[in-house]
Amino acid sequence: MVSHRIEKAAVGLGALSAAILLLAAERQWIAISLTEALGFVTGVGCVYLVVKQNIWNFPIGIANNLFFLVLFSRARLYGDAGLQIVYLLLAVHGWYQWWYGGIARSVLRVARISRSGLGLVIFSVIVMTGLLVGILRLVNGAAPWLDAFTTALSLGAQYLLNRKLIETWWLWITADVLYVWLYLARGLPLTAALYGIFLALCVMGWRAWQRALVSA
């Protein structure tokens, strides 16, 4: 009961902070764009809903993808910008999987990936990173290696998320650590802070999904 009240208080405080942030961005009281502020708010909301295994994370995530598509294009982080389009398509797939991807088209439950499946995901991340580096160099990306690696990691993590495989959190945690550094280097402090929050939420998500897995 106490933890539930703390959670409700945290959600209320988060909603108030989001409202203040959006107002400050719209009135230009702080040096961030409204697009970045909206990306911040929808991003936190999306990851929080994933932690809670709430299927509404997908439509909120789609809105987040659109805001970040604009933001990253302006920052010349073309890998991350392109990733948002892929995320949007994957969100539609994930939405369907969470509803009907379980046994006999039931609601999907938290599970673990097989060793061979995890090996295939890691191999795919490595190959995708190599391919993306060349592309990002051609379009004059700001940080081709780091942008490519975080993009590949995120795609692997999203695939695991769509299947509700608990290993998704390890890939997200690795990507978020790198994203914090990348966005600070590109002069996007609010987005860097957002990924710091994502990092904390990922740890919470891993713990919550671990409990769900044990109790299943």
Domains: count for the chain = 1
Question: 85 near 65, Cβ under 8 Å?
Answer: yes
State the DSSP H helix or E strand holding residue 192, giving kind and residue range, or none if neither. Answer: helix 189-215
pLDDT of 69 over the 70 cut: yes
The pLDDT value given to residue 3: 43
User: Taking all residues of the chain, what is their mean pLDDT, rounded to a whole number?
Assistant: 82
pLDDT for 153-212, tens place per residue? 999 999 999 999 999 999 999 999 998 988 888 787 877 887 888 888 898 899 999 998
Whole-angstrom CA distances from 108 to 120, 162, 192, 205 are: 22, 9, 32, 16
Nearest to 201 by CA among 77, 51, 20: 51
Long-range contacts from 12-15, C-beta under 8 angstroms, 24+ separation: 14/44, 14/48
The pLDDT value given to residue 143: 79
Whole-angstrom CA distances from 17 to 183, 191, 195 are: 21, 15, 16
The pLDDT value given to residue 210: 92
φ, ψ dihedrals at 38, nearest 5°: -65, -35
Q: CA-to-CA distance for 48 and 45, rounded, in angstroms?
A: 5
Q: Residue 19: how many CB atoms within 10 A of its CB? A: 11
Q: CA-to-CA distance for 39 and 25, rounded, in angstroms?
A: 12
The pLDDT value given to residue 62: 92
Enclosing domain of residue 132: 2-215
pLDDT for 26-66, tens place per residue? 555 455 677 887 888 888 888 888 988 999 999 999 999 99
Question: 205 near 54, Cβ under 8 Å?
Answer: no
Confidence bin at 6 (pLDDT 50/70/90): very low
